[in-house]
Structure 1
């Protein structure tokens, strides 16, 4: 079993150059159907890669300015490139949440960090609130010495009034789930300017992790990607 602590520190240092962070990990069980690692054999362990707040945005923006054209899904393209370089450095295989067939990134994140979903479906982090993301993962052919996560308090259980369910003008989020088509129609329509320019109003209404809230231009970028604008 590889010393996961030393490896994690070295990988963290490499990722931090572009604003990324490690988001925990775990070893696959012998009875699990793990995706292949760099050798093609089933991986033994996985470390998740992501961000807190908008830390990678300046690095991504500078990269985007150097591109001769506009790549399809530019943030995914850049993230794959950066995480792929780190993977090669440390003998791992890089994967992305948008790779097909889709892998259970949210379930992996819950397992790696002990988080639970918010009413919006985004995992609630005890420090970052809803302002974080998972951008990829590193698959290893050996088991790593990864300590289990400390299970954090689920802040949504402490939240009175659930403002995240009351800010959207079309009630896109509710106890019954996400009304995708209603949200999409509103964002694309004439009344959707506040959402297009400033981000999801339900997400912004969450009182936790506000110091990590994405800047307006970052939220507008993600909303445009969601709406296909």
Structure 2
């Protein structure tokens, strides 16, 4: 099966074949490799930070600084594997933006946490979608769907209480307040340890990103 081939290929670089589905006739499917609307999409990402040593090894081998290095690495890894199986690779950073979060919710039955990150019943908030493969044919993949949303069972909501500027305490994300704090003199703890609200979530802690990974992502956020 092509999913077995893809699982092996992505595992070799610390990524994983996350989920997927076939588009219906009523979907506004993006074009596949042929230029016609794709028939299927398979999402690629990570659970935990198994990709990190592979990415760091690649980064150390680059002859010059790379702009947006993680996006670049993901595009190279996913794009190379897509070529092997006759698929078109797309990235969440591509413009016009594709509905990766909606695709993930449809495929895995996930919903957003109060942080905006999709809550996974096993991985918690420590996972991401790094790209997708668009196929001109229908591809089946068996993905367990989430029956329970852990946030519904969480009474204390610690993910809304640890941010120094209460960025997640209201409805939505106070982006500007968060960014100003992280960039400011008092934001050193957030820059070094990662988002304090995210780290306070009790779900999926076995998959929590190491400090150096969180620092990398926070540096990218702070610019």
TM range (shorter): over 0.9
1:177 aligned partner: 172
Q: How many angstroms does 1:93 deviate by?
A: 0.3
Segment of structure 1 superposing worse, 170-179 or 42-51: 170-179
The answer to whether the Cα contact below 8 Å between 2:48 and 2:123 also exists between their aligned partners in 1 is yes
Cα separation, 2, equivalents of 1:121 and 1:55: 22
1:113 aligned partner: 108
Q: Unaligned regions of 5+ residues in structure 2, if any?
A: none
1:38-77 residue pairs with structure 2 within 5 A? 38-77=33-72
1:141 aligned partner: 136
The answer to whether the Cα contact below 8 Å between 2:16 and 2:46 also exists between their aligned partners in 1 is yes
1:150 aligned partner: 145
Q: How many angstroms does 1:30 deviate by?
A: 0.6
2:93 aligned partner: 98
Cα separation, 1, equivalents of 2:177 and 2:8: 42
Tell me the alpha carbon deviations over residues 28-76 of structure 1, each in whole angstroms, 9 at most, x when there is no partner. Answer: 1111111110111110000000001001000000000001111110000
Q: Pairwise CA RMSD of aligned residues?
A: 1.0
The answer to whether the Cα contact below 8 Å between 1:35 and 1:42 also exists between their aligned partners in 2 is yes
Cα separation, 2, equivalents of 1:96 and 1:148: 21
Residue among 11, 24, 28 paired with 2:23: 28
2:192 aligned partner: 197
Query: SS where residue 30 of structure 2 aligns?
Result: coil
Q: How many angstroms does 1:153 deviate by?
A: 1.1
* Ranges of 4+ aligned residues in structure 1 off by more than 6 Å: none
TM-score for the superposition, normalised by structure 1: 0.95
Q: Unaligned regions of 5+ residues in structure 1, if any?
A: 1-5
